[in-house]
C-alpha cells in the first residue's frame, strides 16, 4: 500500500479540482465538500454554497471569503504574488500593500463604452480585501493552464496576475429610430471581458447579483437567456440576439413594449446566469437594424 | 481543553454587566461571556441578553483579524432598562421595541416602520440646527416614549449591529447609519476636520457621536451587506474605502489619503482611502456607499 496516496479522492462539482476531500471546502474555489450538486430538472446547477470564512489558495497566497449577503474576498498576498482589480471594489488594505495602476490598451474605446479606464494592481506581502455594493454571490473561477472565459462587463472583481485580461466587441446590438434620431442599444454592453490563464493556473473572482446558476450546453444545443442576466461563458459558446413578439397587433409591430429581446447561446460549453438582473427599459421606438438577430412570432 | 482556533477571550469592558440571575452563593460561579459585547450571561442562555449575539457558536474571526458582527437569530430578544428589543427577519432585519414605562428611544424619522397608535412621540432637542441642515443631516431626531411598541428598519439588505454602550464609552458613527438609540445615551455630532476629509472622506461634514455617561445604553445600527469589526492596537493603522466606514471608537483617528493612479495620455484619477489609526474598534460594511473618485 502506498501511504503517500490519499485514501480517497474527491472531485469538486464546481471547479473540477481533484483532492483528498478531507477539507471542509475546496481549496481552489471554496465550494463545500461532500454536498450533492444541486441540479434543477432543466439542467441548471446552483453555485455550491460556501462556508463563511472558506479559504482558497492560489500560488503562495490565500483568499478568505467572509460574509454571506455581500461577501468579502480577503486576500493574504505572499511576497511573490499580486492581483489586479477595478479600483472601486477595494474595501480595505494594509498600508504596506502597494497599489499601482496597470496599463490597458484601447483607452479611447473603453472610455466610450463606459468601461473602467484604469485597472489597479496590488502586490504582496500583506492583506487586501474586495467587495461590491450589491447583495449576491462571489464566484470563484479557478482557470487551468490555457483556459479562457468570457465575462459580461462590470462583473469582474479581482484576478491573480497569472490571468491575462483582454476584451472584445460583444457584437450584440440593435438600433431604434424615432424621427431623425437613431439610437443603438447594447443589451450586453459594447464589450465583453476575456480572461485567460497563461502558463500557470490562476484564480478569477466575479460578483453576481442574487444567486448564480451554471449549465453546460451540448454541441448545437441552444438556450435563450435575458441579456442582463448573462454572467459568463466558455469561449466555445456562441452568442446571437433573438427577438420574439406576438403577431397581429399594431403595438407589437411597431414598439418595443411587446417585444422580447433574448440572448441565444449556442453550445458546446458552460454558461452562467444571475437571478438578480436589470430590466431592459422600453423606449417604444421602431426597430431599424440589429446584429443579425433571429426572429419568432407567436 | 481550549480550542487553538478560537481567539483568546476578550477582557471585560469597563462597566460590562454581570449575569443577571441570582445564583446560589455556595455553587461554583459559571457565567457565559458574550464574545461580541463582553457582557456576562446566566448559564444555559442561548443568546446574549444585552446584544442578542448567539452564545453557542464560535466567534467568526478572519485571518486578518476582522470579526463578523454576530448573525442575530430571528426573534432574538434583547433587554435594556425596562424595555425589550426583538430582532425579526434576517435579510432586512426589523428591530421591534417594546418600551417600558419611563423608557424611550430616539431615531431618524425615516427608519420608523410601524408603531402602536398610543406610543407617544416627541422631538429630541438639538443644538446646531442650521449646521445640521446645511450638512444634510436630519434636522429633527424623533423620540418614542414608553409604554408602547415601535419598530424600525432600513431600506436595504444588511445586518443589524447591536452595540451596548457601557458607561464611559464613546462611539462615532457614519451619518444616517444609526437605527435607534436608548434615551440614556447622550447624542451629539462632531464636525469632520480637514477639507480633504470632508471632500473625499465620503462621510459628509459630520459624524454622529454617542456617549454613555452614567448608565449603560443600547445603540442599534444598520450596516449594508455584512458588517465586520476589528480592534486596532495603539498606533496600528488600516486603510479603508471611505464608503465602507460604519463606526469607530472615539479614540480611533480617521484621515483621508489619496493614491494617484495614471492612465497614460488619458490622465488619471486618484483613489481615496481613509486611514484609521488605533487604539480602538473599527466597524465596516461590505456593501459600501461608493463615492466617485473621479
Question: Who wins on pLDDT, B60 or A61?
Answer: A61
Q: What is the pLDDT of residues A199-246, one digit of tens each?
A: 888 999 999 999 898 899 999 999 999 999 999 999 999 999 998 877
C-alpha distance from B22 to closest chain A C-alpha (Å): 37
Measured between beta carbons, the chain A residues lying within 8 angstroms of B268 are 101, 118
* Closest Cβ opposite residue B228 in set A66, A90, A118: A66
> Across residues A248-277, what is the average pLDDT?
78
Report in angstroms the alpha-carbon separations of B35 from A267, A290, B47, B55, B70. 52, 60, 11, 8, 9
User: Domains plus CATH for chain B?
Assistant: 32-285 (3.60.160.10)
Pairing of strands B245-249, B170-173: antiparallel
Interface list for A 19-78 with B (CB within 8 A): 52-53, 55, 62, 64, 66-72, 74, 76
Scanning every residue of chain A, which has its alpha carbon at the shortest distance from the alpha carbon of B240?
Answer: A92
Q: Cell triple for residue A298?
A: 407567436
**Coil, strand or helix: which one is A86?**
strand
In 3D space, the residue among A37, A47, A32, A228 whose CA is nearest the CA of residue A137 turns out to be: A47
Task: Give ipTM to 2 decimals.
Answer: 0.75
Residue A2 has pLDDT above 50, yes or no: no
Task: Tell me the backbone φ, ψ of residue A242, rounded to 5 degrees.
Answer: -135, 135
CA pseudo-torsion sign B196, B202, B203, B206 = positive
pLDDT at B20: 45
Strand order in the sheet with A174-178: A181-185, A174-178, A286-290
Angstroms from B25 CA to nearest CA on chain A: 41
- The mean-pLDDT minimum among A51-55, A142-146, B136-140 falls in B136-140
pLDDT at A169: 92
Closest CA to B219 of B182, B184, B175, B169: B182
Three-class DSSP labels, B160-192: EEEEEECCCCEEEECCCCEEEEECCCEEEEEEC
Counting every residue written for chain A, the total comes to: 298
Residues (pLDDT < 50) of chain B are 1-10, 14, 19-23, 291-294
pLDDT at A243: 87
Q: Taking CB atoms and an 8 Å cut-off, how many pairs form between chains A and B?
A: 124
Amino acid at each position: 500500500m502506498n501511504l503517500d496516496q490519499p485514501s480517497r479522492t474527491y472531485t469538486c462539482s464546481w471547479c473540477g479540482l481533484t483532492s483528498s476531500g478531507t477539507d471542509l471546502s475546496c481549496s481552489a474555489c471554496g465550494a463545500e465538500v461532500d454536498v450533492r450538486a444541486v441540479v434543477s430538472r432543466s439542467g441548471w446547477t446552483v453555485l455550491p454554497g460556501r462556508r463563511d470564512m472558506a479559504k482558497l489558495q492560489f500560488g503562495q497566497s490565500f483568499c478568505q471569503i467572509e460574509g454571506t449577503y455581500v461577501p468579502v474576498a480577503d486576500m493574504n498576498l505572499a511576497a511573490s504574488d499580486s492581483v489586479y482589480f477595478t479600483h472601486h471594489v477595494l474595501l480595505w488594505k494594509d498600508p504596506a500593500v502597494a497599489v499601482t495602476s496597470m496599463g490597458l490598451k484601447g483607452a479611447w474605446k473603453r472610455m466610450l463604452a463606459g468601461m473602467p479606464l484604469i485597472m489597479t494592481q496590488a502586490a504582496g506581502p500583506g492583506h487586501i480585501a474586495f467587495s461590491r455594493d450589491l447583495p449576491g454571490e462571489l464566484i470563484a473561477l479557478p482557470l487551468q493552464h490555457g483556459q479562457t472565459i468570457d465575462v459580461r462587463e462590470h462583473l469582474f472583481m479581482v484576478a491573480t496576475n497569472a490571468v491575462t485580461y483582454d476584451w472584445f466587441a460583444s457584437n450584440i446590438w440593435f438600433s431604434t429610430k424615432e424621427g431623425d434620431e437613431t439610437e443603438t442599444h447594447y443589451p450586453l454592453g459594447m464589450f465583453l471581458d476575456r480572461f485567460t490563464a497563461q502558463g500557470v493556473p490562476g484564480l478569477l473572482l466575479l460578483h453576481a447579483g442574487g444567486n448564480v446558476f451554471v449549465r453546460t450546453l451540448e454541441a448545437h444545443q441552444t438556450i435563450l437567456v435575458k441579456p442582463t442576466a448573462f454572467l459568463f461563458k466558455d469561449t466555445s459558446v456562441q452568442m446571437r440576439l433573438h427577438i420574439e413578439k406576438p403577431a397581429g397587433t399594431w403595438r407589437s409591430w411597431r414598439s418595443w413594449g411587446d417585444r422580447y429581446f433574448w440572448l441565444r447561446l449556442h453550445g458546446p460549453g458552460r454558461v452562467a446566469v444571475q437571478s438578480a438582473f436589470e430590466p431592459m427599459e422600453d423606449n417604444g421606438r421602431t426597430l431599424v437594424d440589429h446584429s443579425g438577430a433571429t426572429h419568432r412570432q407567436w | 481543553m481550549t480550542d487553538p482556533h478560537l481567539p483568546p477571550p476578550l477582557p471585560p469592558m469597563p462597566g460590562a454587566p454581570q449575569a443577571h440571575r441570582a445564583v446560589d452563593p455556595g455553587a461554583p460561579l459559571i457565567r457565559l461571556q458574550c464574545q461580541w459585547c463582553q457582557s456576562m450571561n446566566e448559564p444555559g442562555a442561548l443568546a446574549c441578553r444585552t446584544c442578542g449575539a448567539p452564545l453557542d457558536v464560535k466567534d467568526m474571526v478572519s485571518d486578518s483579524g476582522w470579526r463578523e458582527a454576530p448573525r442575530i437569530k430571528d426573534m432574538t430578544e434583547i433587554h435594556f432598562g425596562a424595555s425589550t428589543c426583538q430582532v425579526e427577519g434576517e435579510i432586512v432585519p426589523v428591530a421591534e421595541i417594546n418600551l417600558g414605562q419611563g423608557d424611550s428611544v430616539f431615531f431618524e424619522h425615516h427608519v420608523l416602520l410601524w408603531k402602536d397608535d398610543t406610543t407617544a412621540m416627541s422631538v429630541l432637542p438639538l443644538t446646531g440646527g442650521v449646521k445640521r441642515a446645511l450638512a444634510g443631516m436630519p434636522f429633527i431626531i424623533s423620540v418614542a416614549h414608553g409604554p408602547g411598541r415601535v419598530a424600525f428598519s432600513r431600506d436595504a439588505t444588511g445586518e443589524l449591529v447591536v452595540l451596548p454602550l457601557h458607561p464611559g464609552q464613546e462611539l462615532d458613527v457614519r451619518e444616517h447609519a444609526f437605527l435607534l438609540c436608548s434615551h440614556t445615551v447622550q447624542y451629539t455630532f462632531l464636525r469632520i476636520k480637514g477639507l480633504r476629509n470632508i471632500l473625499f472622506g465620503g462621510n459628509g461634514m459630520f459624524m454622529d457621536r454617542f456617549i454613555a455617561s452614567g448608565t449603560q445604553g443600547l445603540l442599534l445600527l444598520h450596516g449594508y451587506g455584512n458588517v465586520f469589526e476589528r480592534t486596532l492596537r495603539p498606533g496600528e493603522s488600516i486603510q479603508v474605502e471611505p464608503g465602507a466606514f460604519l463606526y469607530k471608537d472615539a479614540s480611533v483617528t480617521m484621515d483621508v489619503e489619496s493614491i494617484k493612479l495614471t492612465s497614460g495620455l488619458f490622465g488619471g484619477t486618484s483613489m481615496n482611502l481613509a486611514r484609521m489609526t488605533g487604539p480602538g474598534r473599527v466597524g465596516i460594511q461590505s456593501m459600501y456607499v461608493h463615492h466617485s473618485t473621479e
